[in-house]
Homo-oligomer: A and B are copies of this chain.
């Protein structure tokens, strides 16, 4: 019998495509095995278990997002950088809903440290160099930005904004305007 030539990397990549097609919660070991025309048990030579597969997927998604944001950010500063970051983040979530959902997994501290999660925080911090913010305000602002981006995208995907006719795109643009003006006039403690 010819071998399928599986590796953890190929499995993770296929899982990412599967996630975008059928949703992160439907990424199962069985579905992945079916995709490769192989028995379930065969995958366990490459991944420890189903959770391990999902963690690998999360790590992949975090890295992809970081790359995309990093590219978008190159050569920009101030509001330009803010908008570029936000668009890159949001467009990734729209194009890759399954991967984005994976990226929201709660990772154990060790895995999180090895992942691109820290790069995200670092890049968000880089945006703030265009504004006049210093510690601890900078960290507070990083957290606020990250929260707003993530919150907006996940509520949008959950359909929370469909009940009102106001365009989701227009609100997003105005939210970025608002955040920019907030960063420029960050209140004192």
Contacts and interface: CB of A to CB of B under 8 A. Distances in A.
Q: What number of copies of this chain does the assembly contain?
A: 2
A107 B143 CA distance: 28
Contacts of A178: 140-141, 144, 182, 186-187
Interface string A158-189: 11111110100011001101101110011101
A152 to B, nearest CB: 4
A25 to B, nearest CB: 9
Interface in A106-144: 106-107, 109, 112-113, 117-118, 121, 135-137, 139-141, 143-144
Interface in A46-60: none
The 3 closest A-B CB pairs, nearest first, are: A151-B151, A147-B151, A147-B152
